Structure 1
């Protein structure tokens, strides 16, 4: 039997579900996957640490002069029919939220980003619920969802990123790797069903930093397909280019996954956060107020988008834009004046991406989806725009030209609020939340807390009050004021009040850290507060 220990007892009424999901054969598949790739994953972690030291020492990134880049003759493998048109995906859909997941399955969109990463909080209960709901949906047995997976939008399964450890599972005495757990369980239970329905298995891959990490995923795909008797190339995966380092290896990433590639995706806030993570100790990389000065029109981000589109199309791959996070007011059908203005703003931004050549993008609010569908009908009647080729010349300087601008009081307050609220909701087991008309997840929390850390480091003056600099004392006061306001409007119980207090002080720890953790989800997932709240501390050796 596989040497796998589940460190969590099942939540009430989840006993049979846990036994079913983590049945003996599934555990053996999971254990064998870990044993096969354990050494390569350890090398991945050590390589990331080494690269961080090198970058911070030199602050230089250059495009590789690789055979894959210089050889213009290769393309990715042809895409299955269901993946040739992905104009609209719904983003941040955690399958642990049954009502939201069911609603997404019934929408008129091409795909659903079924999320175990940015918009999902990996409590044990959430993991079990998400696995179960996906299993039921694939088999047409999820109440309220379509009766066959072929009539649903395509499931784009997004496992956790490499930074996430699964503390609730030991394999051969070592904590399991979060993305391998998600991938193994999803594949074991659903891969054959999805393949037989010509609907997968398809994946999003988060936070890759290099072509070597893409090659590791490719090796994992090859191994899993062989173990499950699936034809090689069945798995397809879209890589999210959310790290500044990966932008310099786009050709190499596509080549590494060429038999399994579903192109590349742009994610603005994780991408910006990675620039601060890698270069933020230098004042010339101080990122200004993101609400006022950072958007896809800025040179460094438009260059990033253009490079992704150019590289993808040159290799016959689709390029996916970012997610429209704006939300309409609850209860509105989108016909009121305020909603029309917000929809118009979303469509204006997405039309710019279409003009740049993207083949699709994500939205969160399902009420926006029909309007985006109409936009595609008017401006992109073909399934994709891969035939559009571009000859942009994008340099390293283009990608690293930080926009000018300062810090506003409103921008500081907004970043403080997002940081505190993300931690507050994570401690409650919720991976995304709504604030000031937008859906917020780990990507926006990442850039928010990183910006505050960087502003404290360089103490810029506020644009609207030049006498006031962003100091640690001023940030602490701002956080205290927000917490007092949230205490009145958000907290109804002593548990919620304690959680808000914890979120405030954990945020301050991130803001003031000498060497901040690279990922906020790593910090939270490894934190004793989170683990205590969601850990029953009972062993079940299965």
Structure 2
């Protein structure tokens, strides 16, 4: 008999907890976990095995010969997406549903979709998970005054945690359950049928998928759920985020595995760039230069990745979505700063539109309308499925590191982002604002990855020829902490938290071996997250 150990409700969320974690919902979670626990273990072991093989052989990833029949068979296509996914020019990204006010504002906007985020932009305290899932439940059942019915509101693109995360507050047979199964299971149990009957879902984003095996597992989970909840097979649709360089070589296979459940693929810049350090960071040939100066979507390795993603999706009838504009608009629309930011976002998003994407995300809700106008001015019809880039992308195109060095500004910026992200997590928050942008776990990943790699390879600064050493990073960390304290006028409590975050950041970037994900490290090595808030 399966044994369940469930934490007490987070303080202040007793009603929400008992609404969601009913005996039937708990039983559903238990059955879901027991059905796929072994598969989850296997894909995580497979990730480790692939990394070890790459390290032992010093080889490079490539398009797998054994999957060539899938890639060469031009006859297969993914199932057409439902009507409400056909046109999604602009979604609002990084919307942590526990942040009730922003979640509701996003639903009142003219955006086609809202990325309801339990991953990159969310800190998965038990309080935040319960609050977020309950807020979705309320919206789906039209229980929030002033919010349009779910059939009229922007579609909810639900993003559960990725496979690297566990849920500390629920044990099944003595083991913590996988974080994504907790999020996905509760969302499907409570809202799956309602979303389906409203022609509004259930639609998901799948983060940090690294291989066709992981796509196959998600497909099995979807089929199991549809049978369990008596939904037609293919009701669930999912967009896979290609955030790993290894997944870039298996895009067709990932679409193939999710054929009837696919809503397409997504490309984003920072998690993908960080994956190069994750997989090959100890190799000098994969030294990634200063991201603030030398890394953008126009560089060969990133442009090749985006072109291949659009080509792959559109050949197979799948939608291709771009990344998120993280820049924030100032309040004064007449200011030079406002015009400058609008021009920068327009240039970046125009580049993606011309590459053939069918949509992208913005964080700032005020960017939704101008970016929709931009899309409509450049394209005809609901999407760009007819645009198939005439490119031939090779392995070397995907693995070509951009030229460039490291600046003092870039090093300090990365340190500041890494520290502030950790500090945000200590507060139970998954994103923060810095230098006119929203920063989340994706930018924290690339920031701490680069600092680790620059220390590892003893890189010289362009500014003054100093070497990036542990000592230099220590000194700059102290400098950054002082600047952050002055900028916010920190209280004693906030200062202590900032110093704790700086210590954890230094711990991470000095590790002999690269910690795979900063969120995993924080969630497992620093157990502050098992608290309620």
Structure 2 residue aligned with 1:123: 125
Structure 2 residue aligned with 1:27: 26
1:242 aligns to 2:243 (yes or no): yes
Work out which of the residue numbers 86, 97, 106 in structure 2 matches 1:104: 106
How far apart are the structure 2 equivalents of 1:251 and 1:110? Answer: 26
The alignment partner of 1:455 has SS state of: helix
How far apart are the structure 1 equivalents of 2:190 and 2:137? Answer: 7
Residues 176-231 of structure 1: CA distance to partner in whole angstroms, max 9, x if unpaired?
Answer: 10000000000000001101100000000000000010000000000000000100
Residues 335 and 189 of structure 1: is their aligned pair in 2 closer, same or farther, counting only changes over 3 Å?
farther
1:62 aligns to 2:62 (yes or no): yes
How far apart are the structure 2 equivalents of 1:528 and 1:39? Answer: 26
How far apart are the structure 1 equivalents of 2:139 and 2:394? Answer: 45
Structure 2 contact 127–532 (Cα < 8 Å) conserved: no
Structure 2 contact 355–389 (Cα < 8 Å) conserved: no
Aligned pair count reads 530
How far apart are the structure 1 equivalents of 2:243 and 2:512? Answer: 24
The alignment partner of 2:5 has SS state of: strand
The alignment partner of 2:514 has SS state of: coil
Structure 1 residue aligned with 2:497: 499
Deviation at 1:11, TM superposition (A): 2.8
Superposed CA RMSD in Å reads 1.3
How far apart are the structure 2 equivalents of 1:241 and 1:216? Answer: 16
How far apart are the structure 1 equivalents of 2:61 and 2:154? Answer: 39
Structure 2 contact 263–319 (Cα < 8 Å) conserved: yes
Deviation at 1:407, TM superposition (A): 0.3
Q: Which stretch shifts more, 413-422 or 320-329? A: 320-329
Structure 2 residue aligned with 1:518: 516
How far apart are the structure 1 equivalents of 2:24 and 2:114? Answer: 28
The alignment partner of 1:76 has SS state of: coil
Unaligned runs of 5+ in 1: 537-542
The alignment partner of 1:508 has SS state of: helix
The alignment partner of 2:383 has SS state of: coil
Residues 54 and 6 of structure 1: is their aligned pair in 2 closer, same or farther, counting only changes over 3 Å?
same
How far apart are the structure 1 equivalents of 2:512 and 2:451? Answer: 13
Q: Which stretch shifts more, 10-19 or 468-477? A: 10-19
Which runs of structure 2 are paired with 1:247-258 in the superposition (5 Å)?
247-258=248-259
Structure 2 residue aligned with 1:3: 3
How far apart are the structure 1 equivalents of 2:127 and 2:487? Answer: 27
Structure 2 contact 328–363 (Cα < 8 Å) conserved: yes
Work out which of the residue numbers 485, 503, 528 in structure 2 matches 1:530: 528
Deviation at 1:484, TM superposition (A): 1.6
The alignment partner of 1:296 has SS state of: coil
1:218 aligns to 2:224 (yes or no): no
Unaligned runs of 5+ in 2: none
Deviation at 1:12, TM superposition (A): 2.8
Work out which of the residue numbers 87, 90, 94 in structure 2 matches 1:88: 90
Residues 457-514 of structure 1: CA distance to partner in whole angstroms, max 9, x if unpaired?
Answer: 1111111112x11111000000011112222333643332221111000000111000
Residues 263-282 of structure 1: CA distance to partner in whole angstroms, max 9, x if unpaired?
Answer: 10001100010011101101
Residues 510 and 491 of structure 1: is their aligned pair in 2 closer, same or farther, counting only changes over 3 Å?
farther
Residues 90-127 of structure 1: CA distance to partner in whole angstroms, max 9, x if unpaired?
Answer: 10000000000000001101110000000000111111
Deviation at 1:232, TM superposition (A): 0.4
Give the TM-score taking structure 2 as reference length: 0.98
Residues 102-160 of structure 1: CA distance to partner in whole angstroms, max 9, x if unpaired?
Answer: 000011011100000000001111111101100011011124422x1011100000000
Which runs of structure 2 are paired with 1:114-193 in the superposition (5 Å)?
114-146=116-148, 148-193=149-194
Residues 379 and 316 of structure 1: is their aligned pair in 2 closer, same or farther, counting only changes over 3 Å?
same
Deviation at 1:46, TM superposition (A): 0.8
Residues 348-399 of structure 1: CA distance to partner in whole angstroms, max 9, x if unpaired?
Answer: 1111111111111110001111110110110013100101223311011000
Which runs of structure 2 are paired with 1:254-269 in the superposition (5 Å)?
254-269=255-270
Q: Which stretch shifts more, 371-380 or 63-72? A: 63-72
Residues 271-317 of structure 1: CA distance to partner in whole angstroms, max 9, x if unpaired?
Answer: 01001110110111100000100000101100000000000000001
Structure 2 contact 10–532 (Cα < 8 Å) conserved: no
Structure 1 contact 491–497 (Cα < 8 Å) conserved: no
Residues 15-63 of structure 1: CA distance to partner in whole angstroms, max 9, x if unpaired?
Answer: 1221111110000000000111111111111101101101122231110
The alignment partner of 2:151 has SS state of: helix
How far apart are the structure 2 equivalents of 1:484 and 1:444? Answer: 22
Structure 1 contact 303–394 (Cα < 8 Å) conserved: yes
Deviation at 1:14, TM superposition (A): 1.5
How far apart are the structure 2 equivalents of 1:91 and 1:70? Answer: 35
The alignment partner of 1:121 has SS state of: coil
The alignment partner of 2:215 has SS state of: helix
Work out which of the residue numbers 52, 74, 77 in structure 1 matches 2:76: 74
Residues 5 and 143 of structure 1: is their aligned pair in 2 closer, same or farther, counting only changes over 3 Å?
farther
How far apart are the structure 1 equivalents of 2:86 and 2:194? Answer: 21
Deviation at 1:78, TM superposition (A): 1.1
The alignment partner of 1:320 has SS state of: strand
How far apart are the structure 2 equivalents of 1:233 and 1:154? Answer: 17
Structure 1 contact 2–28 (Cα < 8 Å) conserved: no
How far apart are the structure 1 equivalents of 2:71 and 2:277? Answer: 27
Structure 2 residue aligned with 1:539: none
Structure 1 residue aligned with 2:388: 389
Structure 2 residue aligned with 1:475: 473
Deviation at 1:2, TM superposition (A): 5.8
Structure 2 residue aligned with 1:307: 308
How far apart are the structure 2 equivalents of 1:383 and 1:531? Answer: 42
How far apart are the structure 1 equivalents of 2:348 and 2:88? Answer: 18
The alignment partner of 1:367 has SS state of: helix
